[in-house]
Structures are given as C-alpha cells and as structure tokens.
Amino acid sequence: MMESILLFSFCSALVTLGKAYENIALSKPAWQQHRYNVEWGADKAVDGLKLDLSASGGQCAISADIQLTAEWRVDLGEVLSIHNIFIQYRTQNVAWGEISYLTSRFLGYSLYISNSTNKDDGALCFKDTNYTRETIPNPTNITCAIHGRYVIFYHNRTHPPYPAGYSEYAYSDLCEVEVNGCPTPGFYGEDCSIPCPQNCQEGHCHIIKGTCLGCIDGYYGDDCSLPCPQNCQEGHCDSIEGTCLGCIDGYKGATCNEECLDQNYGLECQQICGNCKNKEPCHHVNGSCLNGCASGYVGNTCNLALESCSSGNESKCKTSTVLYVSVAITVLSLSLNAYFIIRQLRNKSVRRQQKNTENADTPTDKRSKDLKPTEHFSTSVYDQAEAKPAYQELGGIAEEYQYDKLS
C-alpha cells in the first residue's frame, strides 16, 4: 500500500514538472547599478545556484554600501510571456525575520517589466508598501502575467522619511532571481503549448487565459476575432470595446453607423451644407446637392452666390455683366472661326477630287501618236479641242503635219 502511494506521488510530481513554466532568466545577461565587486556581480543572481545564501558563498549579487538607489536587471533576449518572478534575498544563512538586519534592506523594493532598459518605459509589476521586518517573506514569489524583455529590481532611499524598520541606504542583495514563463513567443498555457489567437498584436496573449494583449488593425475582442465596424476611419477601433477611433467622411457615432444629418456632412459631420434646392439636405459624404442649387447659387456644394443688381451693388453687377458678355463673345468668335476653317478645308478637298477625276479622263500621249492623219481633221477632234483645252495641243500638232504634206 505504501509503495502504491509513493508511486502515485512520484508520477504526480512528474506531471506537475512537465506542466511547470520554464525559468527564462537562467544564465541570461544581467546588469547591476552599483556592484560591490567582481565576485558578487550581477550574473550571480541568474546562475541557478542558491544553496549558500551568504556573501562568502559566492552565489549572490551584492550591491555597494552607502547608495541611495540600487538597481538590478536581467535581459531575456526578446519580449517573452512572463508568469511569475521568484526572488531569493541574501540571509547570511541565518534565520529570517526581525532578528536579521538584512530584512530592513529588502523592505520597499519594486519590480518592473519593460521592453527597454529604462524601468519607466515599462509596467510596475510589484511595489512593497505594506511589509515590515516581521512580515516580509523570503524567498518570495510574485505573479506578474506580463510580456517584456527586461525584468528590473529597483530599490531607493531618495525620499525620506521612510517607515520604521527601513534601512538608511538602498541595496540589491539578490542570491537568485527566477523569471518563469514561456520561452517561445506566441504560446500560452502551463506547458506553453497552446498557440495565441491569430489576430493578437505581435502574437502576444495572456500566458494563463490566452486572451490577446492587443489586436492587429481591424479587429477587437478578447481573442481579436471580431472585425471593427466598416465605417471606422482606416479600420481602427478600440481592441476591447470595438468603438471606432474615428469615422470616415459622412458618418458619426461610437461605431460610425449614423449618417450625417441636420444639414451637415463630411469628416465628423462638422461641415455645413450649402444652399440646396428647396432646402433639401446635401449628400452626407461630399456635400453635393442631389437636385441642384437654390436660385441664385452655384458650385459643387451650392455655396457660391451669384451677384445681384440690388441698390448699392450696381458696379459689381455691371462688372459681372461685362465679364459674362466678353466670355460669350469670345466663345462665339472661336466657334465661327472654327466653322469657316472647316468649311474652307472641305471645299479644297472637293476641288482636288474633281481635278483628279478630269485628269483621269485625259487621253495619253501614246494614243495621240497612234491617231491617223485623217482623224486630226475630223470635226469630232476639233469639237473635242474646243471642249477640252488638252485637245487644243493635239490640234496644233495636226496642222503642222498637214502643211508639211502639201509642200
């Protein structure tokens, strides 16, 4: 019976270890603000050793004396999902509590998670404001489900007075700091095997719940599966509530589902419609009047008033009239010139075609040589010569030929 209980306990322990988060700070680069010496450097806090909690043991990162601030940090190498942070403070291998002077050095510390080496750029994970020398735990385990690259331990004594039991100066006597979380981005769960939802911003989700810490553009909700309303400006909406961060032209409301009303249009419905016909509302997007402008107004949005000839405005009216007449005359003149030019070109084309037709009807020189002498004196030839100038030359040739024969 006892053997069965031991076997069950051993198997349960293996299952628990299989699901445990990994120490993602182990042997990672570390830095300390005021190092006491090389032997007690910042890397001692992430070497995985915490059997000897004294200064002489060489397993603790110890800061210099008489400093008002003390800061230590570890670089995880990239932004990772963190579950909890384990801290083992120096004890000198003696009982922890009020009797230990080291408890006063531990009081009032803070933990930050940041994506840069500046703690103020990150999130405050924990700050001690309640512990006393009797109550402060060591070691301590702080749940801090946050994403980040740098884990920063910070201690200060810059704003006295401090509560009773606090040390006069700041220290960072850390024997071991373990940052437990997922070693690979984009996963969550106790064994870090469940992929984060696909629309999570940068693939990051809560290490326990799997909810997205932010959504890519165009989506919202716990798992970023809901599309933002279609009229959100550039598709952007609040990743939690889904309200638009701005509306496209012509729409308003928390989800941009309301068209502009009350004679307004455009971006955030802040532009006023022009003078539409019958005081009709303009187009809610571009402000155009769907059925034209009211009498006396022109323009795309009917906001340009025509000049009136009322008393006191005669000069403007005359100037406008002269301008309109001049434009009309210019347009008419150009139209007439274009008409006459086209007509002239057309007449020239007709004459050219007629001339080509006449040339096609003219006999060739070869036919003139083949004509018999009697044919040169025929009435038909002379008639043709009188009718067509081309035949007159043939007639002249024929006369010379006849006189030569008589002689």
The pLDDT of residue 6 is 37
**Does the pLDDT of residue 328 top 70, yes or no?**
no
| Separation of alpha carbons 217 and 235, rounded Å | 7
pLDDT tens-digit profile of 370-397? 444 444 334 443 344 344 443 343 334 3
Intervals of CATH 2.60.120.260 along the chain: 20-183
**Does the pLDDT of residue 221 top 50, yes or no?**
yes
pLDDT tens-digit profile of 35-52? 999 899 999 999 999 999
| Separation of alpha carbons 106 and 89, rounded Å | 8
pTM of the full predicted structure? 0.63
Other residues' Cβ atoms within 10 Å of the Cβ of residue 204: 18
pLDDT-based confidence at 23, cuts 50/70/90?
Answer: very high
Stretch (H or E) spanning 143:
strand 140-143
pLDDT tens-digit profile of 110-149? 999 999 999 999 999 999 999 999 999 999 999 999 999 9
Q: Report yes or no: 61 and 32 within 8 Å, Cβ to Cβ.
A: yes
Backbone φ/ψ region at 165: left (φ over 0), alpha (ψ -120 to 50), beta: left
| Separation of alpha carbons 124 and 131, rounded Å | 17
The pLDDT of residue 334 is 86
The pLDDT of residue 170 is 97
**Does the pLDDT of residue 310 top 90, yes or no?**
no
Q: What is the CATH number of domain 20-183?
A: 2.60.120.260
Radius of gyration, CA atoms only, the chain: 50
- Under DSSP, the state recorded for 50 is -
